[in-house]
Amino acid sequence: MIKGVVTEEDAVLAVEHGADAIIVSNHGGRNEDTLRATVDSLPEVVAGARGRIPVFLDGGLRRGTEVFKALALGATAIGLGRPQPGDWRHSAAPGWRR
């Protein structure tokens, strides 16, 4: 697996060099102030992988609907590093709330 891929060119190189999977990640956006969101990079990386290896999205999502959008854009699976339980409590069934 190779993590930190955000361009089609890097995805193509990952496939050519035998990567088993790609993780689309901007490492929390801490490297640059103007780095684009991982979900914005996803379609380009999926195109570069050309269906030959799985493409995972490393976080950056805040709502369940964003997970479905990422899957629709071609992600194989999504990593949720910081789930937002406050958001879930707001709209969750009464049994979830304390």
Least confident of 8-17, 23-32, 37-46: 23-32
Q: Please indicate whether residue 29 or residue 65 has the higher confidence score (pLDDT).
A: 65
Q: CA 89 → CA 43, 47, 79, 85, distances in Å? A: 31, 36, 20, 6
Distance (Å, whole) CA 68 – CA 55: 15
Active site residues: 27
Q: What would the pLDDT profile of 66-79 be if each residue is shown by its tens digit?
A: 889 999 999 999 98
- In the DSSP assignment, the letter for residue 22 is E
Q: What's the rounded mean pLDDT across residues 88-94?
A: 55
